[in-house]
């Protein structure tokens, strides 16, 4: 019998969350957008996270989980007041993380061919 996660558990294992986040960051770059060493509003990245979640058959992550996951990967996360932005985080991705994400995206794309 499959148990559903409770409020304090994530639906996807940590490795899957990491893969989804890296894929999303790589996909964002594949669209010709600059990611490395640039502060972006989380809202600018939400579309990539949504597409990655759909690709891997996972539910879309809430802002807090996205921020926490990105921080674990090495991104610099700043919280801004809720009245400043609907998704109250600013994200700066390091060059190393950016390269890692793009490489994962490239490998995933090649495997689909």
SS3 67: helix
Express each pLDDT in 9-31 by its tens digit: 445 577 789 999 999 999 999 99
The domains located in the chain, with CATH, are 14-112 (1.10.10)
Average pLDDT, the chain: 88
Residue 8's pLDDT is 44
Would you say 108 and 30 are in contact if contact means Cβ atoms under 8 Å apart? no
> Element (H or E) spanning 41, and its range?
strand 39-41
Helices (H) and strands (E) in the chain — how many of each? 4, 3
> Which pLDDT score, from 0 to 100, does residue 21 have?
97
Taking only the tens place, the pLDDT of each residue in 29-45 is: 999 999 999 999 999 99
- The C-alpha atoms of residue 90 and residue 112 are separated, in whole angstroms, by 32
């Amino acid at each position: 019998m499959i148990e559903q996660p409770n409020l304090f558990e994530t639906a996807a294992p940590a490795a899957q969350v990491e893969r989804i986040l890296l894929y999303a960051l790589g996909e964002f770059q594949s669209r010709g957008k600059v990611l490395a060493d640039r502060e972006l509003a989380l809202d600018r990245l939400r579309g990539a996270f949504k597409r990655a979640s759909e690709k891997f058959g996972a539910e879309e992550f809430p802002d807090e989980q996205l921020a926490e996951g990105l921080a674990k990967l090495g991104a610099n996360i700043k919280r801004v007041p809720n009245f400043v932005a609907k998704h109250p985080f600013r994200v700066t991705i390091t060059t190393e993380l950016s390269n890692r994400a793009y490489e994962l995206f490239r490998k995933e794309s090649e495997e689909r061919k």
